[in-house]
Structure 1
Amino acid sequence: MATENPKRWMLCHTLANRFEADLLSDALEKEGIPVLLRSFEETAYDGLFVPQRGWGQILVPAQEITRARAVIAPLLETFQSRGPYQSLEKLDPLLWERLKKEDPKEVCRRAQVQWMEDRNAYRIPFLNGAYACRPQDETLSVLEELPSSKLDFQTGLVVLHYLLEARPEPLEGRWISEKEIPGGLQFFAGPHAFPLPWVLRSLDHDLDRFCEAAEIMGGTPVDAGDAAYRFWVLPRIPIQAVFWAGDDEFQASLGLRFDPSISRQLESLDTIWALANLFCRQLRAAALDGE
C-alpha cells in the first residue's frame, strides 16, 4: 500500500458516504490511477469531521489530478440527477394551490416581493438576481441573471414556501450557525450537512477566490473570520458566509451564519436546508465563472 506523501498526493474529491467512496475508487483504479482513501470515520478521527468535511476524501497523485477529475465528473453528475426530488414537477401540488388562492398584494407585503401585472407573476429577488413565479401556470423561471440558472425541486421548494410563509418581522441583528436554529443541532448533520466541502473545492480552498465569488454574487464585506460577506438571499433572509484560511494543520473552512428570524420566515428545517443548498450552488457557480 502506498504511503501518504503530501508532496505526491492531491485532494481529488470529498466523499459523501462509503458507497460513493467505493464507486469512485473503483472507477479510478480501472483507469490505472492510484487512489488513497482517507476516511473521517476512522478511529483516529472518531467521526469528528464527518459533519464539517464529509465522509472522507479521495486523493490521487498530483500528476494524475486532471485525468482523475475527468474520470469521476460524469459519475458525480449521475449522483446528483438520481435523487427522487430533482425536478420542479415533483413539488407538492398543494403548494401551488395554496399560492393561487393568496392575494398578491398580501404576499408582496409579507414577503417584500413584487407582483408584475403584465406577466401575472411574482418577482422574487434572490441574491443580486431574481426569479419569476407564475402561480396560475405553476411555472418558475430565472428573471434576472444568477451565477447558476439551474431550476430544480429545491429552487421551487424555497420560492413557494417563502411566498407562503414570509412574515413582516424585524431581524434580530445577530448571527447564529445552523446548529443554533431551533432543532438544527440534530437536523443539520449527516445527509443534511451543508455541502460546504463541495464549494471549497470549487474555490480551491483559496481566500481570494472566495472574495471574488462573493462579490460576483453581490455580497457586502463584514468583519468575521479571515474574510466574510453578507448576502440578501431573499428579501427577508440574509446569510453570512465566513471563510477561514488554512494552515499547516487544517485546510481552509467555510461556514454559513443566519439571523435567528430565519425560522420565522421559513417554517421547516427542510426548506432552510434547501435554501442553504441553493446558496452554495450559486457560490460554487460564481467561483467557477471566475476561472
Structure 2
Amino acid sequence: MDFDYAKDSKEQRPYEYYLKTYQEIDPKEISERTGFFYDEEKKVFTVVFMGSTYEISFPDYKISHKEDEKGVYPLEEAMNAKIFMVRYLSEKAKAPSSGKFLTYREVPWGEVYFRQFQGRCLMRLAFSYGNKLEAFKKVMTAMGAKPLEQGDCAFELEFMEGFFIRLILWEGDDEFPPSSQILFSDNFAVTFAAEDLAVAGDICINMMKAVERKLS
C-alpha cells in the first residue's frame, strides 16, 4: 500500500533514538505503563491502532498486522506511524479521558503551532473531503469510526486504545470553501505534545486516503 507521507531522511535519526530507548526498557514496565498486553512467551505486544490489531516484537520492534477488512496497515508501513508508536512505548503512558474533547488551540503550545497544524491537517482534511462527503462517510465507516451529529458530516475514530479523534466537515458552496475541525480526547493533551497531535492527524488523513484508494 502506498502511503503519501513524506519520506524525509530526518525521520531516521529520531526513529533510531527511540528504537534504542525501547530496546533498553523492561517490556513488563512498558506493558504496565501503556496498558498493552505483552506475551512473554512470544515476546510481542498486542496493539490496536486505528481499528487494526498488530503484534510488535520486543526487543527488535518488528511489526505485523492481523488481516482485516480495511487492508491498510500504516503502523507496519508508514515511518511517521512507526516513530509515533515506538516513542509511545519508550516514554509515554496511557491516561484516562474525562470524555471532553479539545481543539488543537486548547492543548499546551497548540496556539503556537496552530498555523502548521491548520495547513498540515485542517486544510488538508477540508479540501480532501469537504466536497466529497459520501466518500468521507464510506472511508470512515470502513475504518470503524462512529458517526456524530456535528457539522455537515462528522465521525469519531479511536486512534489508539483509549485515545479518540473527532473529524468534522462543513461542505463548501459557491460562496465559502469547505472547512473542517479536528478534536482530540483530552487525554491526548496529558500524554502527548502539540507536535505529536499534528502527527496523529497526519497519520489519520494518510490512512483515510489509502483506504479511499482501496475502496475505489
TM-score (norm 1): 0.63
Query: Equivalents in 2 of 1:192, 1:205: separation in Å?
Result: 18
- Cα distance, 1:282–1:121 mapped onto 2, change above 3 Å: same
Equivalent position to 1:104, from 27, 31, 35: 27
Unaligned runs of 5+ in 2: none
Q: Say which structure, 1 or 2, has more relative contact order (CA 8 Å, 6+ apart).
A: 2
3-state SS of the aligned residue for 1:274? helix
More moved, 270-279 vs 148-157: 148-157
Amino acid at match of 1:282: M
Q: Which moved more, 1:194-203 or 1:233-242?
A: 194-203
Which residues of structure 1 form unaligned runs of 5+? 1-76
The answer to whether the Cα contact below 8 Å between 1:107 and 1:164 also exists between their aligned partners in 2 is: yes
Identify which of 144, 148, 168 aligns with 2:72: 148
Kept in 2, the 8 Å contact 1:96–1:135? The answer is no
- Determine the structure 2 residue equivalent to 1:243: 169
Q: Distance in 1 between matches of 2:180 and 2:27?
A: 38
Under a length normalisation based on structure 2, what TM-score does the superposition of the two structures give? 0.82
Distance 2:109 2:123 in 1: 23
> Does 2:43 match 1:120?
yes
- SS of residue paired to 2:176: coil
Question: Which of 111, 115, 134 is the aligned partner of 1:208?
Answer: 134
Q: 2:143 aligns with which of 185, 202, 217?
A: 217
Q: Is 1:290 equivalent to 2:212 in the alignment? A: no
Letter in 2 for 1:122: F
Flag the structure with larger Rg. Answer: 1
| Secondary structure, aligned partner of 1:130 | strand
Q: CA distance change for structure 1 residues 107 and 236 in 2, over 3 Å: closer, same or farther?
A: farther
Name the Cα RMSD after superposition: 2.7
Distance 2:55 2:187 in 1: 25
Distance 1:242 1:191, change over 3 A: closer
